[in-house]
Amino acid sequence: MSRAGHRHRDVAIISFAQLPPVARDAARDEAELVQPVVNQALAEAGLTRKDIGFTVSGSCDYLIGRPFSFVSALDGVAPWPPIAESHVEMDGAWALYEAWVRLQQGDVDTALVYAYGKSSLGDLPAILTTQLDPYYLAPLGIDGISLAALQARALLDSGRASERDLAAVAAARRGGDAAALLGAAYTVAPLRAHDCPTVADGACAVVLAAGDVARRSARKAWIRGIDHRVEPHQLGSRDLTCSPSTTTAAEHAGVASLGAIDVAELHAPFSHQELILRDALGLGASVSINPSGGALVANAMMVAGLARIGSAAARIHDGTARTAVAHATSGPCLQQNLVCALAAEVSP
Amino acid sequence: MDRDDGVLEAPYRLEYTYQRSTGPVIGRFLTGLRDGQLEGVRTAAGTVMVPPLEYDTQGAATGEAVKVGPAGTVTTWAWVTEPRREHPLTQPFAWALIKLDGADTAMLHAVDAGSIAAMRTGLRVTPRWRAARTGSIRDLECFIPADAASAAVADAAAAAPSVTLFPSPVRLDYTVTAGHHLSVYLRAMQDKRIVGGRCPSCTKVYLPPRGACPTCGVPAAETVDVADHGVVTTFCIIRIPFDAAPFPPPYVAVAVLLEGADLPIYHLVRGIEPEQARMGMRVKAVWVPDEQLGPTLASIKWFEPTGEPDADRAQIERHL
């Protein structure tokens, strides 16, 4: 049920598969990254390609510098005879959103969503600069880590977090001792290497189902609501210390109606962003945050957001959680945010 | 180049030589920068936005230009110890969001503060202008701490037309990898061998081999040798000269179905008049001299007709 009272068609995540993220996977091309996760997700869902009504992917051609690499990746899905297919040049979480919207039409009951990213071929900071405002930001050549560092400083200045708090997030995700981490040199002050994501090559896939297919499925994490919101692209027009778009998306996704939240998978590539997101979602100490390790530990570009949703769903599938919140982000300094509310029980 | 994992790799540069049109609002700001002036724009709510945009965050059109600065206050900052090629300064510097005097929003730029110890939120800064200005955010070389400023005034600009267009090049450097299967294919070329990959499900032989059979959804992993001769499935005659053309036109490009393969490869045919090119023609690879062989399709110079009778159309129909 949405906030407006409009009844959505119930859709469940019925399987999730991902490659173990690695720093560099030179041997596999994009189709070979996609094929194993698609095959595994379909097998776990008990479906074949012929059973899938809609296929959609998220990726970014700039990562490997090859136009239409997302078309090459389709080889990994075996799209023959011709399939109904779509693509977003974004994290796969937004592809999942498109699939969820597609399933609302009611004429198909299943959707395959996948994402892949191969950052090891290019210069990721320079590639991320090309997504910025081409008039005022891109000509300065500011990179993603520098932008995150500006946000981190703003958060520190607000008094709501300290460098020790950032190190505590890093220690919780990566292991190690927060106090010892503070001895490391700055990468771009106030961020140290442990505050910045470990960039990876990877891929993941999710199968969504509605109607009888969902009800018959052995595993289901019901999407109780999903929404995404964007903030102004001009950094100086934003309060970088909070994430109002995450809060709004959570309201519209019906996170409040979940009751107690067992697990939250937050797409926070930088340690301070996890703190901002916890605040934005009002997550208390009882919530298990990023049990998967999160994007700080393995940031496969275009994959990490969808992997948060898949990882949260997997906790519901294995029975270790009844409710979960998954979050994905896109753009500099948490510019755009998606929130997905998941539960073991279908909407009341 | 060759890595120890056997995967071929090569440097690759992607460049776009775009120019961008500015529109009136951004154009006015960039014209101001060229002339050594800093201007914001007044929003419908009465605030002053810098740098200016056409619409405010509520979607209302912005209005009149408002002089701001030149000094301002740092609202947040980050310290770069190892500047990148694209960065505006080559020595360690700070990025900062700077709220210029008279503005309600902060703009991003660099601060040449000398050391991290000199930086703080709340620091007063003032611009250091470039001597030669073109109408770019980089006409501001950077900002500097205000107490260090001797002359923050830009040289007067000669009257010139408004900025409406500026160069906006993109340059990205990659090390592309061929992947395992394409590396096997390219490596065989230096031994005058042509290697395909067979799908275990449909038994189709892909050329070049690929890790995923696009019809069966399984790896097409079994490598098989295919012949260096085959049949032209289709062709075209190039009559227009262009920079990368291998020969002066006219010449013939073909799709060749090599014996043992199920997919054609694309190459050139020499040794016939272009008008004699035809579907079904049998051709054979002409390899470069042995000392020039390498892990590249260019190890085949071109194909030449064998002179044997043409293949039936039925033999190639499935491959068109």
Greatest pairwise CA separation for chain B in angstroms: 88
Which residue in A31, A126, A136 is closest to B212 by CB distance? A31
Chain A residues with CB inside 8 Å of B262's CB?
A: none
Q: Residue A204 to residues A35, A276, A283: CA-CA distances in angstroms? A: 10, 26, 26
The CA-CA-CA angle for residues A214, A220, A223, to 5°, reads: 85
Number of cross-chain residue pairs from A and B with Cβ atoms under 8 Å apart: 175
Chain B residues with CB inside 8 Å of A121's CB?
A: 174-177
Q: A101 and A47 share a domain?
A: yes
> In this predicted structure, what is the pLDDT of residue B157?
59
Which residue in A64, A141, A188 is closest to B79 by CB distance? A188
At position B99, the amino acid (one-letter code) is K
Chain B residues with CB inside 8 Å of A153's CB?
A: 76-78, 121
Q: A170 and A229 share a domain?
A: no
Are the beta carbons of A140 and B84 separated by less than 8 Å? Answer: no
Number of domains in chain A: 3
CA–CA min distance A322, chain B (Å):
34
Chain A residues with CB inside 8 Å of B106's CB?
A: 235-236
3-state percent helix, strand, coil for chain A, nearest multiple of 5:
40, 20, 40
Which residue in A65, A122, A237 is closest to B57 by CB distance? A237
Residue A168 lies in a domain: yes
> In this predicted structure, what is the pLDDT of residue B318?
83
> In this predicted structure, what is the pLDDT of residue B243?
87
Q: A147 and A211 share a domain?
A: no
Which residue in A28, A157, A190 is closest to B179 by CB distance? A28
Q: A189: nearest CA in chain B?
A: B79
**Within chain B, which residues score under 70 in pLDDT?**
1-5, 148-158
Are the beta carbons of B217 and A125 separated by less than 8 Å? Answer: no
Bridge partner residues of B20 (DSSP): B166
Domain end among A195, A230, A255: A195
> In this predicted structure, what is the pLDDT of residue B107?
97
CATH number of the domain bearing residue A291: 3.40.47.10
- ipTM score here? 0.93
CA–CA min distance B305, chain A (Å):
33
> In this predicted structure, what is the pLDDT of residue B158?
63
Alpha helices by DSSP H, chain A: 30-45, 61-64, 69-73, 92-104, 124-129, 144-157, 163-174, 178-181, 211-216, 244-253, 271-281, 294-297, 304-317
Q: A250 and A318 share a domain?
A: yes
Pick among A19, A24, A25, A29 to test the B interface (most B CBs inside 10 A): A29
Residue A300 lies in a domain: yes
Residue A17 lies in a domain: yes
Residue A1 lies in a domain: no
Are the beta carbons of A190 and B97 separated by less than 8 Å? Answer: no
Residue A90 lies in a domain: yes
**Which of A165, A123, A131, A61 has the alpha carbon at shortest distance from A336?**
A131
Are the beta carbons of B215 and A32 separated by less than 8 Å? Answer: no
Q: A58 and A204 share a domain?
A: yes
Q: A163 and A306 share a domain?
A: no
Which residue in A26, A141, A232 is closest to B7 by CB distance? A26
> In this predicted structure, what is the pLDDT of residue B210?
86
Which residue in A79, A122, A150 is closest to B174 by CB distance? A122
Are the beta carbons of B216 and A78 separated by less than 8 Å? Answer: yes
Helices (H) and strands (E) in chain A, counts: 13, 14
CA–CA min distance A115, chain B (Å):
16
Chain B residues with CB inside 8 Å of A43's CB?
A: none
Q: A112 and A129 share a domain?
A: no
Q: A96 and A44 share a domain?
A: yes
Q: For strand A110-117 and strand B251-258, is the pairing parallel, antiparallel, or unpaired?
A: unpaired
Q: A149 and A204 share a domain?
A: no
Contacts of B158 (CB under 8 A, 6+ apart): none
Q: If DSSP codes are grouped into helix, strand and coil, which group holds residue B69?
A: coil
Q: A82 and A24 share a domain?
A: yes
> In this predicted structure, what is the pLDDT of residue A1?
45
Q: A241 and A329 share a domain?
A: yes
Residue A93 lies in a domain: yes
CB-CB contact of A21 with A298 (8 Å): yes
pLDDT 10s digits, B277-313: 999 999 999 999 999 999 999 999 999 999 999 999 8
Which residues constitute the domain of residue A263?
Answer: 221-343
Are the beta carbons of A75 and B214 separated by less than 8 Å? Answer: yes
Residue A156 lies in a domain: yes
Chain mean position to CA A35: 20
Q: A24 and A172 share a domain?
A: no
Residue A269 lies in a domain: yes
Please name the residue that has the structure tokens 């948490």: A334
**Within chain A, which residues score under 70 in pLDDT?**
1-6
Q: Residue ranges per domain, chain B? A: 9-170, 178-319
